[in-house]
Amino acid sequence: MLLKDLRESVIEYALKVIDAGLISSTWGNISARDPESGLIAITPSGMEYRKLSPDDIVIVNKNGNIVDSKRKPSSETPMHALFYRERPEINGIVHTHSCYATAMSTLKKEIPVVLAELGACVGGPVKVAEYARGGTEEFGQAALRAIGDGTAVLQQNHGVLAIGKTLNDALFSAIVVEEAAKIYWLALQVGEPFILPDQEVKEIHEGFIKTYGQK
C-alpha cells in the first residue's frame, strides 16, 4: 500500500482531534505530507473517522489530484494542497469546527494573545479570514492571506485551520486556539482581559521554537 504509515498517522490524528472535542460527526479534515515524495494523505469526504481504515485515506499530489484511492477526498483538498505549496515547511494540517473558536469567527473577532501558550505556538493573535464558501478556491486563498506567518487562522462562520511542521504540531495549535478562545470568551463576560504585549509574544514564540520539547 502506498504510504501506509502516513495513512495510519492521519487516522491516528483524526481520532485525536475527535477525542479533543474539536470536531463531531464527519466534520473537519486532516492531512499529512510525505516530505520525500511530496504526496499528501488526506481524510475522505463524509466518512466517520472511527470507522476509517488505511485504504480509506486518499493520496493526492501537490495540486490535489488523486494518486491512489478508492474514496473521494475531502472537499477541502484544494485548500490543503494550496497550503502545502505555499508553506513548504509544513507537513501537517488540521481543520476543525471547535465551538469557542468558531463562535469567535462568526463575530469576525480575532483571538488576541491572552495565553502565553497561544503566543508560543501561533506567534500572535489568531486572525479571521474573510468569508468564503467551504470547498471553493477562495476559501483556501482567504485563509492563506489571513494566516500570514502564523500557524492558525479562523475561517469566518466556519471553523479553524491549524498547520505545523508535523501533524502533532498542527493538532497542538488547534487545541491551544480553542482553549484561548474559550478563556477569552469567558473573561469578556466579566471584564476586559489583559493582552500580552507584542514584544513579549515575540520573545515567547522565539523561545518556544528554540527550546520546547526534546530537541
Known catalytic residues? 76
Tell me phi and psi for residue 88, to 5 degrees: -65, -15
Tell me phi and psi for residue 161, to 5 degrees: -115, 125
The H or E element spanning position 183 is helix 167-188
* Residue 148 burial (10 A CB sphere; 0-12, 13-18, 19+): exposed
Q: Report H helices in 71-166.
A: 77-86, 99-106, 116-122, 137-147
- CA-nearest of 9, 19, 17, 11 to 173 is 17
The H or E element spanning position 200 is helix 198-211
Maximum distance among all Cα pairs of the chain, rounded to whole angstroms: 55
- CA-nearest of 87, 109, 200, 91 to 156 is 109
